[in-house]
Amino acid sequence: MSSCATIALLGQPNSGKSTLFNALTGMRQHVGNWPGKTVEKKEGSFVHGGKEYKVADLPGSYSLSANSDEEVITRDFIASGAADVVCILADSSQLQRSLFMLADYAGIDAPCFLLLNMSDVAADQGKIIDAKEIEKKLGIPVIPFSATDVKSYDIFYNTLEKAVENGTKLDLSKLSKQYESIQGYREVFNLIPEGVLPGYSSMWLAVKVLEDDKVVCAKLKNAVDADTYKKIEEAKKNAKGAVATGGCKFAWIDEVLDDAVKAKKTSVSLSKLDRIYTHKVWGKTAVILTVLLGLIASFIPALPLMGVGSAVLALKAPITSALYSIGCPEFIILIIGDVVIQSFSYIFKMLGFVFGVTLVFGLLEEVGVMARISYVFDNTMGKLGLQGKSVMPFLVSFGCTMGGAAGARVIDNWGQKVLTIALAWAVPCGAAWATIPMLSSIFFGPGAVGVVAAILLTMLAHMWITAKVFGARLVKKEDRFGMIMELPPYHKPKWGALFRYVMGRTKETFFRVTKVILLVCGIFWLLSYSPNGNDGVLVKIGLAIEPVTKVFGMPWQLFLSYVASAVGKEGAIGVISALYNGGAFGTAFTEAMNGAGAATNLNEILLSNVTKPEALAFIFAMTFNMPCVVALAATYQETHSAKWTAKIVAYYTVVSLILAFIAYHIGMLIW
């Protein structure tokens, strides 16, 4: 590669920024965190014309204010000169409104060009946009663009090359004239020396001062002498803030678009689909049905990879026997069979699900359904400090917590995403739902219905309390604001870009979760390993601390099954039935996870060994325990935080034991 340039993508939500990023970088992308921040950093790269380009997908929402870490990171990144060129995206079908980002950017000193995205949609609406005219007024390259049109990319690459080469910058004269009309602007502007904060023009800084931008004010306070800063404070006192500067920005946009855009007057009404989604009675039902259908649909693309997971498991028998035949030590064979092969079987099944969920959720996001979901559940989820979208991961978690955690990636605020995952863990998954009614009906007959109801109520209370416990730290009070969001028009999905994105995320998930799953499964296996069949470290510990676990209503057999349920809920019953039958702990777990049925005499063993209060305690402990090792890995993958993942695990372990304690003692009162 001869040389390398960095290009930054800047645009409002729904401007098609992610689609462009995925289309440009494909599998060559990486998601991490901005240094020292809880904001996701999306980077990628591509090669064009023998030159490598790094692409940064800048985070943020509708402007470059100090409202969120995302926006501050974005503007600081641009001002630092880290990008050779900034590609600003606007939506041609809503050009006036979506050019606000350009207006808010104007005054940051970096080369840029403007991409009028979705030009096909605008054309369909009868809007005629003269890009050349806009280009003349702005002084930077302006190109119409449509992500579905192959020719668009040629123009894009050409413009990009030219913009990097010429370092094209915005013409600010007309905009600064608009600002002159604001009361206080001149005074503040004159007090800020040009170049006092590198990368930002005095005009830009003066406007932010008038908008009462805390970050800019603090920086200026350090950069200018105390007397000047006092005068700045004085001058901004009478300012009308963002309302006045926002008015100027739109007046400038109108000036730019004047003569450049011809549009027919159109009347607006909700589409049929939107009339259903926004219906005050049926809206929620429609959303839940949509998510459930999406969940079912996500199994279809998931199946091939899940098949690979089962195929990996089928290798276990031949590999094990082959290893025996060459005289490999048993310990090694067991590690290969029960840890490595077993783990890769989980991993592939998990990848299948991640693939399916990412594809379907990504699709819902891209076509615009996700915004409707946010709208419908804004009120309900707002009470938990979350966005309306958070309802999706919760619904998915009824099937599989890992899917819920993977689905939480549609939530664009890190704190809310972690909180969503933390709450999703409280939703009993499919494997728990298979176990709860079975155990309940053995012990409580028709009373099982009551147990299921109690579990559901506990789940709601758990989520509410967990939102209080973690919410204060994850979602700051000033970040809890009402929805101000665009409901974008429905868009046709860009399949190619979507697939590349999904493949990229699946690949990344594979590398990240493999070590977590191998590690946890390895430790669990080592602790359960017993050379002579029936003990092992975990069994010894279980026996030793039985006096303590009995306080929580769990004799050692139930306690060990509870421990196993943290690795995989499917294994819980197998472990119980083996331990009461005198079988081996580790083997029983592995077999149960591979789908072996419970012992035929399960009912009798349980009824003769376990009391009703103990059974109740176990059901609660197992249900609200850590969901499984795969959910753990997915949580780590999505939060990028070992610290928060560990916190959530510790919290769930403690809470599940408390719930078991309560259930046990209530049970003792009843029976």
Partner 1 sequence: MSLSEVKENKSAVIASINGDTRFLSRITSIGLTPGCRVNVIKNDKNRPVLVYSRDTMIALNRKECEGIMVEEVTA
Asked if 69 touches partner 1 (CB under 8 A), the answer is no
Asked if 93 touches partner 1 (CB under 8 A), the answer is yes
427: its two tokens:
């939703």
Range in contact with partner 1 (rule: CB under 8 A) among 186-194, 318-326, 368-376, 625-633: 368-376
Residue 671 contacts by C-beta under 8 Å, 6 or more apart in sequence?
611, 612, 613
Asked if 273 touches partner 1 (CB under 8 A), the answer is no
Q: How far is the CB of 187 from partner 1 (least distance, A)?
A: 20
Asked if 346 touches partner 1 (CB under 8 A), the answer is no
Q: How far is the CB of 47 from partner 1 (least distance, A)?
A: 35
Residue among 421, 88, 366 at smallest CA distance from 253 = 88
- Site size toward partner 1, by CB under 8 A: 47
Q: Are 630 and 617 in contact (CB under 8 A)?
A: no
Q: How far is the CB of 64 from partner 1 (least distance, A)?
A: 9
Q: Which of 241, 304, 595, 597 binds partner 1 (CB under 8 A)?
A: 241
Q: Are 29 and 42 in contact (CB under 8 A)?
A: yes
Asked if 65 touches partner 1 (CB under 8 A), the answer is yes
Could you say which residues in the range 192-221 bind partner 1, by CB under 8 A?
A: 211-214
> Helix (H, G, I), strand (E, B), or coil: what is residue 626?
coil
Instruction: Compare residues 356 and 388 and give the one whose CB is closer to partner 1.
Output: 388
State how far the alpha carbon of 636 is from the alpha carbons of 208, 455, 469, 645, in Å.
37, 26, 20, 6
Q: Which of 62, 348, 585, 644 binds partner 1 (CB under 8 A)?
A: 62
Asked if 22 touches partner 1 (CB under 8 A), the answer is no
Whole-angstrom Cα distance, residue 64 to residue 77? 11
Could you say which residues in the range 602-641 bind partner 1, by CB under 8 A?
A: none
Q: Which of 247, 437, 447, 583 binds partner 1 (CB under 8 A)?
A: 247
Range in contact with partner 1 (rule: CB under 8 A) among 43-51, 278-286, 453-461, 574-582: 278-286
Q: Which of 1, 268, 669, 670 binds partner 1 (CB under 8 A)?
A: 268
The number of beta carbons lying within 10 Å of the beta carbon of residue 218 is 11
Q: How far is the CB of 415 from partner 1 (least distance, A)?
A: 16
Could you say which residues in the range 95-114 bind partner 1, by CB under 8 A?
A: 95-97, 100, 104
β-pairing, 112-117 vs 142-144, is parallel
**Residue ranges with strand state E in 168-291:** 261-262
> What one-character DSSP code corresponds to residue 339?
I
In the stretch 473-492, what mask flags binding to partner 1 with x, by CB under 8 A?
Answer: -----x--xxxxxxxxx---
Q: How far is the CB of 247 from partner 1 (least distance, A)?
A: 5
Q: Which of 310, 379, 581, 601 binds partner 1 (CB under 8 A)?
A: 379
Work out the angle at residue 165's Cα, subtended by the Cα atoms of residues 162 and 171, and round it to the nearest 5 degrees: 75
Helix axes 241-257, 202-210, angle to 10 degrees: 130
Asked if 246 touches partner 1 (CB under 8 A), the answer is yes
Whole-angstrom Cα distance, residue 452 to residue 456? 6
Whole-angstrom Cα distance, residue 120 to residue 123? 5
Residue entry with tokens 């990229």? 504
Beta bridge partners of 55: 7, 44
Q: How far is the CB of 397 from partner 1 (least distance, A)?
A: 25
Range in contact with partner 1 (rule: CB under 8 A) among 240-248, 318-326, 604-612, 618-626: 240-248
Residue entry with tokens 């359904």? 369
Range in contact with partner 1 (rule: CB under 8 A) among 238-246, 504-512, 525-533, 605-613: 238-246
Asked if 390 touches partner 1 (CB under 8 A), the answer is no
Work out the angle at residue 247's Cα, subtended by the Cα atoms of residues 243 and 248, and round it to the nearest 5 degrees: 125
Q: How far is the CB of 263 from partner 1 (least distance, A)?
A: 8
Residue entry with tokens 């783990």? 343
Asked if 123 touches partner 1 (CB under 8 A), the answer is no
Q: Which of 128, 218, 270, 460 binds partner 1 (CB under 8 A)?
A: 270
Query: What b/e sequence results for 373-401 when a residue is b if at least 16 CB atoms lie within 10 Å of its CB, and e otherwise?
Result: bbbbbbeebbebbbbbbbbbbbbbbbbbb
> Helix (H, G, I), strand (E, B), or coil: what is residue 329?
coil
Q: How far is the CB of 94 from partner 1 (least distance, A)?
A: 4
Instruction: Compare residues 375 and 443 and give the one whose CB is closer to partner 1.
Output: 375
Q: How far is the CB of 111 from partner 1 (least distance, A)?
A: 23
Instruction: Compare residues 67 and 345 and give the one whose CB is closer to partner 1.
Output: 67
Residue among 588, 582, 545, 546 at smallest CA distance from 564 = 588
Cα atoms in the Cβ-side hemisphere of radius 13 Å centred on 145: 29
> Helix (H, G, I), strand (E, B), or coil: what is residue 29?
strand
Q: Are 607 and 439 in contact (CB under 8 A)?
A: no
Q: How far is the CB of 63 from partner 1 (least distance, A)?
A: 4
Residue among 116, 120, 51, 128 at smallest CA distance from 87 = 116
Instruction: Compare residues 242 and 333 and give the one whose CB is closer to partner 1.
Output: 242
Range in contact with partner 1 (rule: CB under 8 A) among 73-81, 263-271, 526-534, 627-635: 263-271
Cα atoms in the Cβ-side hemisphere of radius 13 Å centred on 151: 4
82: its two tokens:
């880290």
| CA 86 and chain centroid, separation | 25
Q: Which of 132, 237, 280, 643 binds partner 1 (CB under 8 A)?
A: 280
Binding region for partner 1 (CB under 8 A)? 61-63, 65, 67, 93-97, 100, 104, 211-214, 241-243, 245-247, 249-250, 268-270, 278, 280, 283, 371, 374-376, 378-379, 382, 478, 481-489
